């Protein structure tokens, strides 16, 4: 039997952001409770094309399927009219190894599950009722992080920083269209972001040098560190992590590919200083935020189990709509 092939447009018509948040929340628990079989990700770096490709895979014990995902970021693509994110997911029957569904999602599902992960982290780690957000970055993920956060937090003011003022303005126009009631302001440099009583900072760039200095991070701030997902990527001053309660998606992955790698190499943290993984917080095995004034950091590198969860979600929705088994 040939696998079902779903194009991007078919997939997007099946998605519900609120449902995705719930699906990704459960996947964190599956991982941290040891139910997931998740090999080490593979990275292919194509420097001459300003591109990178990640291969991730996962199986959850008891599931009918496992998933292999190929996701790419080619950062010059917008110059030729293409999205910077590309990729596909393959859902495979666990019992037989037969491909069940090929999702030609062009990186969209990776983008959505990553943004949903940020929302889940904020739900458990940010102060309740957070209203002010600073986003570092102006790309697809920086947009989606806010769109998903708006579903769980009463955000009123959004501050945006980007390397290009023109892209920052385009970002503001996009978000204003999506959320007309949201007040959006551009900050021209990180010094302008000081003393703004920011509740949540989101970093979503491919930077390889720290963009957020420690003096921007005030008491009570929660940070979603999204961009560092492979060796060398770096968005936060390492001293931010040493002064914070650090929660990872996977401590093993983050120690090699996330912001944690830099705190460890700088000697300002040890692996044992990590408070725990988000799945442990969700399942109440570890505490999240203890104090409204403490600083929390969610170090996100992306998990294969998240890809399995969202691929299975899309396939189940497709089967429900089309009455397939």
Q: Could you confirm whether 69 is annotated as catalytic? A: yes
Half-sphere exposure of 324 (CA within 13 A, CB side): 12
3-state per-residue secondary structure call for 124-154: HHCCCCCCEEEEECCCHHHHHHHHHHCCCCC
* Residue with more model confidence, 249 or 107: 249
Report the pLDDT value the prediction gives residue 75, as an integer from 0 to 100: 87
Mean pLDDT confidence for 264-284:
97
pLDDT at 236 over 90: yes
Mean pLDDT confidence for 181-191:
95
pLDDT at 323 over 90: no
Please state, for a pLDDT cut of 90, what percent of the chain lies above it.
94
| pLDDT band per the 50, 70, 90 thresholds, residue 170 | very high
Report the pLDDT value the prediction gives residue 174, as an integer from 0 to 100: 95
Summary mean pLDDT of the chain = 95
Mean pLDDT lowest for which of 36-45, 77-86, 284-293?
77-86
Q: What size, in residues, is the chain?
A: 325
Mean pLDDT confidence for 198-202:
98
Mean pLDDT confidence for 296-325:
94
| pLDDT band per the 50, 70, 90 thresholds, residue 127 | very high
Report the pLDDT value the prediction gives residue 325, as an integer from 0 to 100: 59
What's the CATH number for 4-109+305-322? Answer: 3.30.1780.10
What's the predicted TM-score (pTM) here? 0.93
**CATH 3.40.50.720 domain extents, the chain:** 117-302
Q: Which string of DSSP letters, residue by residue, matches 253-311?
A: HHHHHSTHHHHHHTTS--GGG--EEHHHHHTTSS-----TT--EEEE----HHHHHHHH
| pLDDT band per the 50, 70, 90 thresholds, residue 1 | confident
Query: Nearest Cα to 302, choosing from 21, 44, 41?
Result: 41
**CATH 3.30.1780.10 domain extents, the chain:** 4-109+305-322
Mean pLDDT confidence for 178-190:
95
| pLDDT band per the 50, 70, 90 thresholds, residue 85 | confident
Question: Annotated catalytic residue: which of 35, 56, 64, 69?
Answer: 69
Write the pLDDT tens digit of every residue in 40-76.
Answer: 989 899 999 999 999 999 999 999 999 999 999 898 9
Query: Is the sign of the CA dihedral 7, 12, 16, 19 positive or negative?
Result: positive
Mean pLDDT confidence for 142-157:
97
How is domain 117-302 classified at the CATH fold level? Rossmann fold (3.40.50)
pLDDT at 282 over 80: yes
| pLDDT band per the 50, 70, 90 thresholds, residue 259 | very high
Burial (CB count within 10 angstroms: exposed 0-12, middle 13-18, buried 19+), residue 307: buried
């Amino acid at each position: 039997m040939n696998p079902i092939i779903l194009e991007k447009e078919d997939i997007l018509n099946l998605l519900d952001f609120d449902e995705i948040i719930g699906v990704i929340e459960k996947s964190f628990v599956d991982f941290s409770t040891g139910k997931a079989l998740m090999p080490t990700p593979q990275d292919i770096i194509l420097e001459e094309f300003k591109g990178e490709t990640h291969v991730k895979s996962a199986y959850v014990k008891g599931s009918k399927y496992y998933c292999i995902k190929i996701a790419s970021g080619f950062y010059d693509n917008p110059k030729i009219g293409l999205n910077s994110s590309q990729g596909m997911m393959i859902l495979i029957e666990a019992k037989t190894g037969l491909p069940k569904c090929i999702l030609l999602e062009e990186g969209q599902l990776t983008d959505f599950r990553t943004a949903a992960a940020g929302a889940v982290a904020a739900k458990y780690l940010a102060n309740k009722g957070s209203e002010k957000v600073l986003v570092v970055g102006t790309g697809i993920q920086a947009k989606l992080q806010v769109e998903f956060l708006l579903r769980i937090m009463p955000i009123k003011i959004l501050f945006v920083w980007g390397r290009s003022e023109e892209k920052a303005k385009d970002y503001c126009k996009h978000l204003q269209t999506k959320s007309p009631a949201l007040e959006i302001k551009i900050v021209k440099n990180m010094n302008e972001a000081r003393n703004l009583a920011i509740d949540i900072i989101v970093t979503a760039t491919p930077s390889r040098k720290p963009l957020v200095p420690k003096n921007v991070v005030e008491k009570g701030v929660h940070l979603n560190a999204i961009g560092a997902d492979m060796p060398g990527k770096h968005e936060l001053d390492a001293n931010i992590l040493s002064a914070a309660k650090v929660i990872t998606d996977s401590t093993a992955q983050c120690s090699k590919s996330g912001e944690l790698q830099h705190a460890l190499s700088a000697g300002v943290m040890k692996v044992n200083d990590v408070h725990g993984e988000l799945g442990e917080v969700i399942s109440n095995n570890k505490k999240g935020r203890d104090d409204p004034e403490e600083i929390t950091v969610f170090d996100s590198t992306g998990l294969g189990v998240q890809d399995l969860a969202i691929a299975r979600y899309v396939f189940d929705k497709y089967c429900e709509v089309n009455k397939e088994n």
